[in-house]
A = this chain, B = another copy of it.
């Protein structure tokens, strides 16, 4: 991995059958693992990052929150069309690899790749360095998939695995990043 490039991390919840949302985008089922005072390490992770790359859909959900959830961080929204910035967020359309290079040159050290679509783009572009998946003990049967049109196999290295009282299992993997991998085949059509 290029030591000058910011580390890119994914941090996402999924059902046991690999869905991150229902077909209509809803994530109501996450409430089954909500416990008072338990955030499954999210705050610590969030404190460790300085920059977020956020997909358009995730951005729209965030805009609907009472308060802007990304305060104090640099936020780049991946969207085909820029919009008026409401909270200092920037807009970007294009390939992820050069974007990560640019924000690294501008000072980013640790980037949160937030949302299923951007996560898959980062896997296809080979820029993801690690991935934390919080596996919720439910089978949804249908929905928005954890990976979407990833162009090739991504072999991961298990770093840690922890189970919680709620039945949530948190898996932490190292992803190939821009290290030992074959060249990207670009964004294919998947299946």
Contact = CB atoms under 8 A, between A and B. Distances in A.
A122 B99 CA distance: 46
Contacts of A3: none
A152 B145 contact: no
A30 to B, nearest CB: 12
Contacts of A138: 153-156
Interface stretch (A67-75, A88-96, A101-109, A167-175): A167-175
Q: How large is the interface on A (under 10, 10 to 19, 20 to 34, 35 or more residues)?
A: 35 or more
A184 interface: no
A146 interface: yes
Contact of A153 (B140, B163, B191): B140
A23 B156 contact: no
